[in-house]
Structure 1
Amino acid sequence: MAINRWLRIAWQCGNTRHDSISPNCYGDVQRRNSLSSDNASIELAIRSEDHTIQLETKSLSRREQPKDFPELVDGVDDAGEVKPPSNQAQPSSEESEAYSIFTTSQKRLIVLTASFCGFFSPVTASIYYPALQTIAEDLHILQGIAPTFVGAFSDSAGRRPAFVYCFVVYIIANIGLGIQKSYRALVVLRCIQSAGSSGTIALANGVAADVVTSAERGSFVAFASLGSLLGPMIGPIIGGLISQYLGWHWIFWFLAILAGVFFIPLLLFFPETNHNVVGDGSYRPPLHCQSLTGLMIARSLKRKNIVLNHEKQKRLREEYSVRFPNPLDTLIISWERASFIILFGNGLVFAGLYAVLTGVSSLFSDIYHFDEIRIALCFLPFGGGSMISSVIVGRVIDWNYARHARRLGFPVMKNRAQSLENFPLEKARLEIALPLIWVGALIMIAYGWMLQFRTALAGPLIVLFFSGATMTGVYQALNIMLIDSYPKQAATATAANNLFRCLLGAVATSILGPLLSSWGAGWTYTFAALLWIVFSPALLVLIKYGQKWRKQRAAKEAARQLKKMKAEETKTARGQHVLKDQHVEDQK
C-alpha cells in the first residue's frame, strides 16, 4: 500500500496537463516555452538600532509591485484601533514561488511516514521497561545529546542521509542487543541504539517544516507527532507480552525486524524535502539524497518539456555540503531569549510527563497490586488522550493563526512562504498553550491526590487521559512556535527541544522516587504543577516582546549574511587580480 502511494505521488506530479500546470505541483518549475521576460524590482531594507542595511537589485518591471506592508505592533495603529494593512505583504523572489510541489494528500503521506520514523524513539525507550527496569534511568542524557548532531546534519546534508544513518545504527544495535548476554554490553549497545533512534523525532519535525508553511503547520506538526505519541502508549504492552512469553532478547529482535521492514521502502521511495537541497522538491538532489520517487518526478518533468530555474539549481549545488554537524548550532538556538523560554517550558512539561509515566509502574503496583501486563495497559488512557489532543489542538492552532490574519488583513498563503516579521506569531501560538498549561496543572494536582487517597482505579485512569491531552497540547503549541522561529533550521531547533526535555526529564526521573517516599504522591505532583504555574508568566512576556525580538534577530542575521557576501566578493576580486597579474607576467 505504501509503495503504491509513493508511485502515485510521482505520477501525479509529473502528469499534470501540459497546458495547465498546477501551482501546487510545480513551484520553482518554469515552462521552457513561456519563460517570462519580466524582472522584479526588489528592495530590502533592514534597520536596527545602530545601522541600516540596504540591498538593491535594479531592473525594469511591467507591473507595479505591491506597497510595503505597514509597520504594525500587534495589529494596532497609533490611535489604538485595529488597522488592517492597505495592501498584502510583499513577497520576496523566493517567497513568490510555491513552497512545495506536493499536494495536501502527498504532504500528509510524507509527514506521516516521517512521523512513523519518530515512533521508534519512544517505543524503544518504553518497550523494555517491563523486562529491564534497571536500565530505565540511564538513557535520558544520550537521548538528549544525540539529536543535536543528527538535527544539524540533516539541516545541511538533507533528511534522507540523516534517516539512513539513524536506521542503520539502530538496526545494527538491536541485532547486537539480541545476541549478547553481558550487562555491560547491554548498556553500551542500548546507548548506541538510542543514538540511532532518538534523532528521528527531530527529523520528523524537520520534514513537516519543509513541506508546509506557518498557515497550516499546526495540523501537520500534529501528524508529525503521532508516531512519537503512539510509542509510549503501546511500547510497554508489546514489551510486557514479548518478555513474558518469548524472553527479553526477543524485544530487540522484534525492533530490528520492524525497523528493517520499514527502512527498505523508506530508502527506496521517501523523497528528499530539505529546501537547502531540493528547493520546493522539484530540483534534483545529489545522488546520495536521491530516491526513486525523485527520479520519476524528474523524468516526468523532462518528458513534459518543463525546465527548472538553472540559476537556482546551480546555487543549490554550490551551497550544498556534507560536513560534520556542529552542536554549537543547537546551543546558539538554546540561548536566544525567546527560544530559551520555549525550550525551558517544554522541558518542564516533559519533566511532568516523565514524572507521571515513571510513577505509574511503582504507584499502580503498590496501590492496586497490578502485574506488568496490567500496568502496561494503564498507559493506554494517557496515550489516547495525547493522540486525540494532537489532532484537535493542531487544528485549533491553525484556526487561531487564521483568526489573527483576518483581524490584521494579513494574507494566508498555504503554499507560499511569507515574511512574518509583522505578524504576531507569539499570540497566535501561545494563546492556545497558556490555558492548557493552567488546566494541566490542576489535573496533575488532582491526579496526585487521587493516588494519595487510593481512590477507585477509574479516577486516576480518567485523569491520566486528560493529563495526556493537556501536556501534549502545550508541547505541540510550543513546538510549533519554535519551528516557526527557525523554519530553515527546524531539525536543529527540535534537537535543542529534545535536549532540554531529556535533561529535565532525567532530573524528574531521578528525584521522583525520593519525593514520593518523603512527601507522598499528593504533594509530589502538586509541587510539579506549581512549577508549571510559576513558569507561565514567562509565556506572557514572550507574547508581549517576542515579535520585537524576532525582528532584532532577523536584522542581526541579515547583517551577518551581508558581511559574509562582501567577504566572498573581496576574496573573489583578489583572486581575479592575482590571475590577471600572472597573465601579464606570462605575456612579458
Structure 2
Amino acid sequence: MAMASCNPNESKLLNDDTSQERSANVHKVEDQEMEGLPCRQHQSLSILSGPEKILSILIITTMTFLGPASTSIYGGLMALRCLQSFGSSSLSVVGIAYLSDILTRAERSKYRLYTSSGYTLSHLVGPVTGGLLAQFLGWRYVFWFLAIFAAVTILFILVFLRESCRAVVHNGEVPPQRWNRALIDFLHPLEYRQDTPWPRTPGRTPGRTPGVLDTIRLLSHRSTCLLSIFSAVLFCGNMAIFVSIPVLFEDQYGFQLWQVGLTYVPYAVGGFAARWIVAPLTTKNKRRYRRRIGVEAMDRSPQELPLERACLQVILPFVYMACIWMAVYGWLMKRNVHPAGPLVMLCFAGNAITGVNIGITGLLLATHGKRPAVVLAAANLVRFLCAAGAVAGILPLVKTVGIGWTATIMAGVYLLFSGLLWVVYCYGHLWRTIEQKE
C-alpha cells in the first residue's frame, strides 16, 4: 500500500523541477534496493518470533510514515522512504512464516490465495487513494493516511493475532508467556496440554534455526536459482510498468494525479483475477499427477510427484501471453491511440504477469515446504535488487528508443529467459530427487 500510494505522485514529492525525473529514478532505485536488504535478515528472525516481529516492524514503519508528512528536506524524505521499504519487505517474509506455523502443507496454497490478495488489492486501492489525496489535499496527506492505516493494523494485531512460533508454543500444546499473548488470549483463553510456558532453551527448540547465510546458500539449488532469476526478470518488467505509467499518461494524455491513479486499476484488476485462475488450475493439475502415481492425499508430497511439471504446465502459457500483451501495450502507447486501448492491454498484462508470479512463488513454497520463509527471502533478495536496475533504466530507455521498442525489448527478455523455466520443467524433478537423497 505504501509503495502503490506513492506511485502516481512521485514528482510531487520533489521540490526541484529541473531534476525531478532523475531524482524520482534515484528514489525508486533506493526504494527497491532497501526492499531487498531485509530479505537476508528477517527470514531467520521470523522463525523465532510471530506477532512480536510483525508488531515491531509495523511500529517502525508507522513512525517512518509520520516523518515524510512533516519534513521538507529531500534527503530526509528519501531516507525515511528507504526505511519504509525495509519494513514492508520484511512483513511479507514474516507473514509467510506465520502462515506456515498455523497451517498444514495442504492448506497453505488455499489460504495463501486469500492472504496474497492483499498485495493485489493494495495496487488497486493505493494508487487511487494516493492520487486523490495528492491532487486535492497535498502529497503529505498520503503519508498521514498510511500512518493511520498502519496504526489500525497494529490495533488489530494486538487484539487478535495469537502467538504461533513453534519455538514458543510447540504445536499449540504449550501456552506462550504473558508478554507474547494477544488481548483475545486473556478474554477467551485456549486450553493447553501443558500449564506452564515452554522455557526457551536451545535444546528444546525444534530443529535448527536458519542463519542469514541460509538465504544465499539456498540459491545454490539449481531449480531454486533458475526460478528466482526468472521471477526477478518478471518483477523487473512489473516495476518498469509501474514507474513509466505516470510519465507516459501525463505527457501523452495530460492526465492529472487522480486520473493517473485510476490508470493502475486495470492492471490490478487483471492481477486480482489471475489469483482465481492460476491457483485452481495448478491444484487441478497436481491432482491429475497424484492420480497418475496413485496418491490422492493433498497433504502428502511424495518424492515421485513432479511438482515442477505440474506447476509449469500452467505457468508457461501465461509467460507467452505476457510477452504478447506487453508488446501490444507499448505500440498502442507509441501510436497515441485512445487511452482505452493501452488500459485494456494493461489489464491483460497484469493478469498474465501476476499469474506467472503466483505460480512461481507457489512452486518455490511447495518444493521447500519446511522452510518457506527462507526460500521466499531468497527469491525476494534477487527480485528486488534486480528491480532496482530496471527502475533506473526504464525512463532513459523510453526516451531513447520510444515506448514501443522498449515494450518489445521487455517482451523479448521475457521470451529469452523463459528458457530457464523449460530447463526446470525438464530437469527440476530429477535435481530435487538427487538433492534430497544427498
Q: Could you state the TM-score of these two structures normalised by the residue count of structure 2?
A: 0.89
| 1:14 alignment counterpart | none
In angstroms, what is the RMSD of aligned CA positions? 2.8
Q: Is the 8 A contact 1:161 1:288 kept in 2?
A: no
Inter-partner Cα distance in structure 2 for 1:541 and 1:485: 16
1:531 aligns with 2:413: yes
Distance 1:159 1:554, change over 3 A: farther
| 1:586 alignment counterpart | none
Could you list the per-position Cα deviations for residues 31-73 of structure 1 after superposition, in whole angstroms to 9, with x for gaps in the alignment? xxxxxxxxxxxxxxxxxxxxxxxxxxxxxxxxxxxxxxxxxxx
Q: Is the 8 A contact 1:218 1:397 kept in 2?
A: no
- CA shift, 1:393, in A, is 1.4
Distance 1:286 1:433, change over 3 A: farther
Q: Is the 8 A contact 2:8 2:261 kept in 1?
A: no
2:132 alignment partner, one of 217, 227, 241 = 241
2:431 alignment partner, one of 537, 549, 552 = 549
| 1:336 alignment counterpart | 221
Paired amino acid for 1:439: M
Paired amino acid for 1:435: P
- CA shift, 1:165, in A, is 1.8
- CA shift, 1:353, in A, is 0.8
Q: Is the 8 A contact 1:150 1:325 kept in 2?
A: no
- CA shift, 1:505, in A, is 1.4
Distance 1:395 1:292, change over 3 A: farther
Inter-partner Cα distance in structure 2 for 1:229 and 1:396: 19
Larger Rg: 1
| 1:142 alignment counterpart | 34
Distance 1:227 1:392, change over 3 A: same
Paired amino acid for 2:280: R
Q: Is the 8 A contact 2:5 2:131 kept in 1?
A: no
Inter-partner Cα distance in structure 1 for 2:65 and 2:177: 30
The 10-residue stretch of structure 1 (179-188 or 163-172) with the greater mean CA deviation from structure 2: 179-188
- CA shift, 1:423, in A, is 1.5
- CA shift, 1:462, in A, is 0.7
1:348 alignment partner, one of 229, 233, 237 = 233
| 1:256 alignment counterpart | 147
| 1:8 alignment counterpart | none
The 10-residue stretch of structure 1 (443-452 or 542-551) with the greater mean CA deviation from structure 2: 542-551
- CA shift, 1:526, in A, is 1.0
| 2:296 alignment counterpart | 411
How many residues in Structure 1 have an aligned counterpart in Structure 2?
Answer: 426
Q: Is the 8 A contact 1:151 1:495 kept in 2?
A: yes
* Secondary structure in 1 matching 2:116: helix
Inter-partner Cα distance in structure 1 for 2:71 and 2:263: 31
| 1:488 alignment counterpart | 370
| 1:461 alignment counterpart | 343
- CA shift, 1:448, in A, is 1.1
Q: Is the 8 A contact 1:128 1:251 kept in 2?
A: no
- CA shift, 1:240, in A, is 2.0
Could you list the per-position Cα deviations for residues 92-116 of structure 1 after superposition, in whole angstroms to 9, with x for gaps in the alignment? xxxxxxxxxxxxxxxxxxxxxxxxx
Inter-partner Cα distance in structure 2 for 1:295 and 1:401: 42
Q: Is the 8 A contact 2:5 2:142 kept in 1?
A: no
- CA shift, 1:358, in A, is 1.5
1:427 aligns with 2:309: yes
Inter-partner Cα distance in structure 2 for 1:292 and 1:521: 53
| 1:20 alignment counterpart | none
User: Which runs of 5 or more structure 2 residues have no equivalent in the other structure?
Assistant: 15-23
- CA shift, 1:314, in A, is 7.8
Which structure features the higher share of helix residues?
Answer: 2
Q: Could you state the TM-score of these two structures normalised by the residue count of structure 1?
A: 0.67
| 1:49 alignment counterpart | none
Distance 1:423 1:344, change over 3 A: same
- CA shift, 1:324, in A, is 11
- CA shift, 1:124, in A, is 5.7
Q: Is the 8 A contact 2:135 2:257 kept in 1?
A: no
Paired amino acid for 2:37: I
Q: Give the % identical residues.
A: 29
- CA shift, 1:466, in A, is 0.8
Q: Is the 8 A contact 2:274 2:354 kept in 1?
A: yes
- CA shift, 1:309, in A, is 12
| 1:187 alignment counterpart | 78
